[in-house]
Amino acid sequence: MNVHGYKRTAMSKEADDVGPMKADAVEPVSHREAGNAQAVSTAEVLRSLQIAQEQRAGTSFRKRSGHARLWTTMTVLVVAVSASILLARRSGPTPVQVTTLVSDTSVRGSLLVAGGYVRHARIVNVIARVSGVVATLRVGEGDVVKEGDPIATIDRSDLERQVAESRAELAARQARLAELRAGQRPEEIGSARAKVEALRATAERMERERHRSQALAEAGAIARQAREVAETDSQVASKNLEAAEQSLALLRAGARPETIAAARAGIDAARARLAQVGASLSRTEIRAPMSGRVLRKYVDVGTVVSFGLPFTEGYTTLGPGTPIVSIGQLDDLEAVADINQADLGRLAAGDRVEVSTDAFPGKTYHAHVLRFAPRADRNKNTIEVSVRFDFPTPAELAHDLSVKLSFLAPR
């Protein structure tokens, strides 16, 4: 490019910046120089349409300046908040007067909550102590009974017959003892005495006959055999007299002490049998051993019950004898729950407990911790806790009813 062309280009650029130029300011050029000038002018126009490097740098600088101002503002806010907190700590907390009202147990909160069930502290299975057939049943499940109230009766016909037989046997033995003590009657003694006198007379006669036969035999008047017969008859008569005299002596002396003692023992045995049968007869009337509620009825009228044989229900043996009903004591109603062993140290005997149940929504019962089981369940890692309801005992809570126990924190 020649000097004239460059000068034209510079002048054209200045013309673009300052406006139109006068015609006399343009120097005359050749056609080649004019073509080159036109090409340069076109390139300049294209470059003028592009964004200059300075402009791009200025836009990027403005963006960076906006982000920098945002971060600066956030930093100032953080510094201001930190300064406020630091000043508040140095100045100390503002004193506030707090009043705590412990009018409700829910304000204190609960240490833990566990699910459990209701049970009676004492449950007695009323067992028939005699074997037989249930004749009457006067109570049902849920009935409240008092100590001594009749519950059921067992058929008494067999026992009444045994009582009659025992009484007759006792009377016979007592009569025999009275006879032994009274001795024989005078008539019997007189008859025995007369018998003794007759036998004595016979013995004397036979003795005389023996002496006469002996004398005749020595004289040779009779045979030796006749003498022997006379001697034998005399000995027999003497023995019969001796036996009769002993019988008379026994009649006069009365019964021996051993015989009387044996008769007395027989009377005592008969009296004992009568008492035993009489006791069995009285046990046919079954009464409540304590006051409480009938929890379960095991038999109906006509059921055969036995005493002494183990009563098994499923895989559980309840005890010897067939139970009639089971009675739970109402005074000492309890609830039990299994808690985790790790929570055992948080509770103590006497702690307050609030008991609730879905059966009576909105109703809360008050109780206290009674005892802890002496053994833990190592399979479940739990221990049983028993709580007792405060007076008055809630009578509407049934045995084995599910409840929720809320163990309250100490006051």
CATH at 344: 2.40.30.170
Mutual angle of helices 3-18 and 31-49, in 10-degree steps: 40
Position 16 in a domain: yes
Q: How far apart are CA 52 and CA 60, in angstroms?
A: 13
Token code pair at residue 159 = 């026992």
Position 235 in a domain: yes
Position 159 in a domain: no
pLDDT number for residue 94: 41
Q: What is the pTM of this model?
A: 0.52
Position 158 in a domain: no
Token code pair at residue 297 = 């009825």
SS3 label, residue 51: coil
pLDDT number for residue 294: 93
Do 382 and 352 belong to one domain? yes
The two counts, helices (H) then strands (E), for the chain are: 8, 16
Identify the domain containing residue 136 by its residue range: 127-153+284-325
Report the domain count for the chain. Answer: 5
Position 73 in a domain: yes
> What secondary structure letter does DSSP report for 101?
-
pLDDT number for residue 39: 47
Is the backbone peptide bond immediately before 392 cis, with ω within 30 degrees of 0?
Answer: yes
Do 183 and 241 belong to one domain? yes
Position 217 in a domain: yes
Residue numbers in the chain where pLDDT is lower than 50:
1-40, 45-46, 49, 51-64, 91-108
pLDDT number for residue 205: 85
pLDDT number for residue 23: 37
Do 211 and 262 belong to one domain? yes
Phi, then psi, of 140 in degrees rounded to 5: -135, 175
Using an 8 Å Cβ cutoff, are 349 and 390 in contact?
A: no
> What secondary structure letter does DSSP report for 404?
E
Do 299 and 338 belong to one domain? no
Do 78 and 219 belong to one domain? no
pLDDT number for residue 240: 86
Do 270 and 175 belong to one domain? yes
Do 309 and 369 belong to one domain? no
Position 207 in a domain: yes
pLDDT number for residue 71: 66
Q: How far apart are CA 406 and CA 277, in angstroms?
A: 56
> What end-to-end distance do the CA atoms of the chain give, in Å?
106
Using an 8 Å Cβ cutoff, are 132 and 158 in contact?
A: yes
Do 220 and 189 belong to one domain? yes
Do 255 and 219 belong to one domain? yes
Do 321 and 353 belong to one domain? no
Do 368 and 305 belong to one domain? no
Do 351 and 396 belong to one domain? yes
Position 135 in a domain: yes
